[in-house]
Structure 1
């Protein structure tokens, strides 16, 4: 295992101590627990995190959540980036199991594909904590994630309402991860209720493939001259789709899921990017690390933690700087944002 601070295909190791205090508001649960007499935390525990990706806004917030939590609560942390490579992530998990850490954190890029590796990790007796998606056919210690079905349905409802229940819609889906695919199922559960909403195109996008989201949206626009809206399973497609819509000079609006400064910038500027469902990636990671400490101390962890999501539009961004810490507990309330899921 490399101890160099590297990126890309190399594994990066971060040694963190309590002196790196979490700035801003800490999770209420964490703050309350730390204030209780006799609350012990593992200062010398070794933690490992196998992350399916560290790119994009989501990856940056996930890494920050883990680093801040371990800095606050104690221990050392090794982070490995699989960069959407399933075999690489499975190998990382196996290597982490062999190193016998206090707990392993996993953010799956393809949850179903790495299920055997996670099953083996669970069988080793090491506490396993998953973030962003659950892993099927496994019983990990705890999973912190968004309500993906709800994220998909919320965006579809926004589109249906804005079109007054009538129009032509395209969908850019992300089926490679079972949890991400739940967003598509949620969207379809809404569109099917509107007989005058016609889904004219549904594209199953593959991360790591040769086709970009921009090319997908370009093709959708070319094939559908009367299109009204595009629902996207993640903000990467919505951001690139925004550029495609503007280049084609089309009156089409687009929605996404994830959140982050780039998405907020497009939305605030009044571009075709009209809505994102901003997830709490930082809090997913922080809660995983917090409950790992709880388990080490002999206390319980919840099987599921559903972290907050916020509906972000041009109106909710008016009059405020582009937020980057909204997914740290307590920060969204300062912006006047309310949890929708």
Structure 2
């Protein structure tokens, strides 16, 4: 893309922004990334070496994260080495140590288990290499910058949808994801909402272990069997909601399910009117892009914010019914606005 085309693209993006009160809240981080899109590559940027230790690359979230890092480094300059830990804590800790030894310009980390890899991240920070985290913060560390969603809010939003649909009364179940401290915040957010409604009863809560032998489908099968009066299931991530949808269909029960993450597969279920009724769609691409953008800023001697809260969108059948094609790039800056989606968090 030529410099003229980049400038034109930025102008088009900025023109698409509707700066209403909601639009202002949605636009802040997006404008920063838009600036990066039109920013010329810094002199010597092609010589920069970056490394990314990703806790996972599966699911749509993993694909969007990988694309965000790759696109940003391709655009802004440098080379990128990616390692996938596949939810293996020791493997990720070893990856981080190996990357530190290679002395890159910066290291990007999406934690599989943030608390468990904290010692490895502490050592990385102590090396003096700028460390950027995506999706989750790492406790007991002071990394250069973290780009993530409001996880407590994500969990609360799904619970609020359930409460509203049930008119404040009914039995619900939770499929939680406690292995990562940030992801566990979602469950705390959901419970904070359900606790305000005495006629909402949490009939079951299953703590799912990623990398174990039990699948989310089996978990939801068991929940449905043990709780015949269940009306809704809150899930901490879309993988459980998608597989849970299959379990609900097989059971023939009138139960609906919510998730957190977003992506084409989730949108397909939701648009079709399946039991998968709502997801809080995160901006995984933007998390990764913001990490890489601010890594370049820090290398250039400029500042990076300690935290960047990326946009999330409440997606239901109403959000998708008028769309000809299911969006795969909604989490790239400016795209959600074109869909008519307002930032929920």
Q: 2:31 aligns with which of 28, 33, 50?
A: 28
Q: Is the 8 A contact 2:233 2:257 kept in 1?
A: yes
Give the deviation of 1:44 after TM superposition.
Answer: 1.1
Compare the two structures and name the one with the higher helix fraction.
Answer: 2
Give the deviation of 1:254 after TM superposition.
Answer: 0.3
Q: Is the 8 A contact 2:34 2:333 kept in 1?
A: no
Give the deviation of 1:250 after TM superposition.
Answer: 0.3
SS in 2 for 1:43: helix
Q: Is the 8 A contact 1:41 1:73 kept in 2?
A: no
Give the deviation of 1:195 after TM superposition.
Answer: 0.3
Task: Report the equivalent of 1:162.
Answer: 165
Task: Report the equivalent of 1:77.
Answer: 80
For residues 159 and 37 of structure 1, the distance between their equivalents in structure 2, rounded to whole angstroms, comes to 46
**C-alpha spacing 1:308/1:171, structure 2 compared with 1 (3 Å):** same
Residue 200 in structure 1 maps to residue 203 in structure 2: yes
Task: Report the equivalent of 1:15.
Answer: none
Task: Report the equivalent of 2:152.
Answer: 149
What are the equivalent positions in structure 2 for 1:78-227 lying under 5 Å apart?
Answer: 78-227=81-230
SS in 1 for 2:269: helix
The alignment yields a C-alpha RMSD, in angstroms, of 1.7
Please list every run of 5 or more consecutive structure 2 residues that lacks an aligned counterpart in the other structure: 14-29
Q: Is the 8 A contact 1:33 1:39 kept in 2?
A: no
Across the two proteins, how many residue pairs are aligned to each other?
320
Task: Report the equivalent of 2:53.
Answer: 50
Deviation sequence 1:306-326 (CA, Å, 0-9, x none): 000000000000121110000
Q: Is the 8 A contact 1:41 1:293 kept in 2?
A: no
Residue 331 in structure 1 maps to residue 335 in structure 2: yes
Q: Is the 8 A contact 1:278 1:309 kept in 2?
A: yes
Give the deviation of 1:37 after TM superposition.
Answer: 9.2
For residues 37 and 87 of structure 1, the distance between their equivalents in structure 2, rounded to whole angstroms, comes to 39
TM-score normalised by length of structure 1: 0.91
Deviation sequence 1:91-116 (CA, Å, 0-9, x none): 00000000000000000000000000
Q: Is the 8 A contact 2:37 2:75 kept in 1?
A: no
**C-alpha spacing 1:41/1:234, structure 2 compared with 1 (3 Å):** farther
Q: 1:254 aligns with which of 253, 257, 263?
A: 257
